[in-house]
Structure 1
Amino acid sequence: MFGRKKPVTGARDAAASTGPESQAPSSTGPHDRSSVPDVREYYTALGYGHIDLGSLVIGVPQGRDLNVALDPAGQPEFHVVTQVSRVIPRAFAAPKSAGQWRTMVAGMREQLEQQGADVSVVDGPWGRELVAVLPGAVFRAIGVDGNRWTAEVRVMATPELADQAAEEGREVFRHLLINRGDGPMPVREQLPLTIPDEIQQALTQARSQQAAQQQAQAYQQQMAAGQQGGANQQGGANQQGGAGQQGGARQAAQAGAQASPANPQAAAPSARAAAAPQSGGRAAPSTGGTAASSTGGTARRRDGSAMDRLRGEDDDL
């Protein structure tokens, strides 16, 4: 069922502010950052930690972990994680007129249906929410158009916890702060993030480790292909009765096996990073995860199709 877009704060809140003493907006966000006089006090009053990424400020409720991972383009994205859900907030440049979120939902729906997902569009507090049922997982996209920006959270959960995960996603979504900036940007382009130095260093290390792991995997594949080729030559030698060729093929296969690393994964150890939220009170300590977390976890790049990405996020739920 398609819902009507609900009002969202932003330019209206900013216009209503009368000065630095005005209170943070009380209506449901996401909010323009300009409408919140003191970001730290805003999240402290909620009992949240937060991380300030320049164009996007993410609140981290008590009991949640903040992880960072690399998207398929190698760019960092931040996840708010519990044992129930993984919530990925993002913000995009948008035209002055509303309607971009509607277009984004239509595009996601088409892509997921092409990959075999069972997709529906339901009515949520902000209007349209896209829900895709995948093997062993449920993906939900919640979004809304603001003042020249579109905010979104993507929520992943197992089917039996999908409803609870949706509420956790909405809780993060309603307290996002967006700083669109005044410069021109192509519509639907993701707003650039300002990454804290300690996280940037960890991501640089993770990229290096990923490159090493990819090289090791490529080498292993080449060696496997060489062994297969040697086996084919061996079979041909047997058919022709060429004992010399057979012996040569066996020697080549043995040499290839000796040259192949016994454990190519060992060439690319897992990276660990610290993603410490800035807060009036800090975010809850991490208990671990597959992305770089607030106390450490593996930063991992996710490749493959959109469905593979969605499915892959379920690893540490």
Structure 2
Amino acid sequence: MAFGRRRQEEEPAAETAEVAEVETAEVSGTGPWDAATDEIPELERIDFGSIQVPIGQGIEVQVNLEAAEVDEEGNPVGGRIVAVTVVTGESAMQLQAFAAPKRAGIWDEIRKETAQEIAENAQGQTQEAEGPFGTELHALIPAPLTEEILEQMPEEMRASIPQEVIDQGYAWQPAKFIGVDGSRWFLRAVVTGAAVEDEEQWQVLEDVFSQIVVNRGEHPMPPRELLEFTLPTEAQQAMAEADGDDDEGIDPFTRGPEISEVR
């Protein structure tokens, strides 16, 4: 599959790099798209600065905050957005975009490092597989099943969990890691929930991912640095009206309090 991205070139060090002139390649196939590409399909998207996320019926978009501090009730105070999560049905896809070198992609390295981290830190299992966007990393990660978590589950869901799983205190959570190397950027998605195995729900998330627009910006940045997210005006207003209420999203690796904006 061909992606709508510009030709990759090697990026100089952040401290001394000069911004190279943008070169737009011919576009064919689907995205994710580089913001400098001329022929990006016109869709309704939420603009988070570094990425623009398409929306549609049945899709909820959340922002994941890394709070500078929390108030007495545990609500985030200040902080920055570290990810955007798309939720549909019982599935979620967390999105992050990073700076990358111009000539060499970083997905191969990050994929291997992620597999090692899951094995060593989470005692999980991984294997590589080919998907619509190239090589993916499929993982099984042990998720805790505490009494508090079990009490929050719907009765039917809790009843479906085998007693031996409850007794061992964890269940295997499947996850799928997807990476796309662009021109001076890298886009990563972490898919959790039913879409890991359910083709219908995965198709919704695949369509969203394929129409994301990445805006790398022209300022020098070191490779792997998270591209800056900004909050749309309407989301800021919704958050103000919610008076700081937070809503947990689906995230296999906790990155801080989360606040949801539903479109």
Q: TM-score, normalized by length of structure 2?
A: 0.65
Whether 1:299 and 2:247 are equivalent positions in the alignment is yes
Return the alpha-carbon distance in structure 2 between the equivalents of residues 176 and 11 of structure 1: 15
Which structure shows the bigger proportion of residues in helix conformation? 1
Residue number in structure 2 paired with 1:75: 80
1:179-226: CA deviation from partner (whole Å, max 9, x where unpaired):
1112110101111112123434665798x96xxxxxxxxxxxxxxxxx
2:31 paired residue among 24, 29, 32: 29
- Once superposed, what is the RMSD of the aligned Cα atoms? 3.2
Deviation at 1:51, TM superposition (A): 0.2
1:229-251: CA deviation from partner (whole Å, max 9, x where unpaired):
xxxxxxxxxxxxxxxxxxxxxxx
2:190 paired residue among 154, 163, 179: 154
What SS class does the counterpart of residue 114 from structure 2 fall into? helix
What SS class does the counterpart of residue 42 from structure 1 fall into? coil
Deviation at 1:136, TM superposition (A): 4.6
Whether 1:65 and 2:13 are equivalent positions in the alignment is no
**Contiguous gaps of at least 5 residues in structure 1:** 1-5, 17-24, 44-48, 210-270, 272-297
**Contiguous gaps of at least 5 residues in structure 2:** 8-22, 69-78, 142-170, 259-263
Residue number in structure 1 paired with 2:178: 142
Residue number in structure 2 paired with 1:128: 135
Residue number in structure 2 paired with 1:309: 254
Which structure shows the bigger proportion of residues in strand conformation? 2
Aligned residues: 201
Residue number in structure 2 paired with 1:261: none
Return the alpha-carbon distance in structure 2 between the equivalents of residues 183 and 146 of structure 1: 16
Q: TM-score, normalized by length of structure 1?
A: 0.55
The range that moved more, 104-113 or 7-16, is 7-16
**Counterpart AA for 1:131:** H
Whether 1:8 and 2:6 are equivalent positions in the alignment is no
Deviation at 1:62, TM superposition (A): 2.9
1:228-283: CA deviation from partner (whole Å, max 9, x where unpaired):
xxxxxxxxxxxxxxxxxxxxxxxxxxxxxxxxxxxxxxxxxxx1xxxxxxxxxxxx
The answer to whether the 8 Å contact 1:8/1:144 transfers is no
Return the alpha-carbon distance in structure 2 between the equivalents of residues 30 and 11 of structure 1: 11
The answer to whether the 8 Å contact 1:131/1:140 transfers is yes
Whether 1:117 and 2:124 are equivalent positions in the alignment is yes
The answer to whether the 8 Å contact 1:57/1:178 transfers is yes
1:171 paired residue among 189, 200, 207: 207
Higher Rg of the two aligned structures: 1
Identity over aligned pairs, percent: 31
Distance 1:189-1:121 versus aligned 2 partners, 3 A rule = same
What SS class does the counterpart of residue 109 from structure 1 fall into? helix
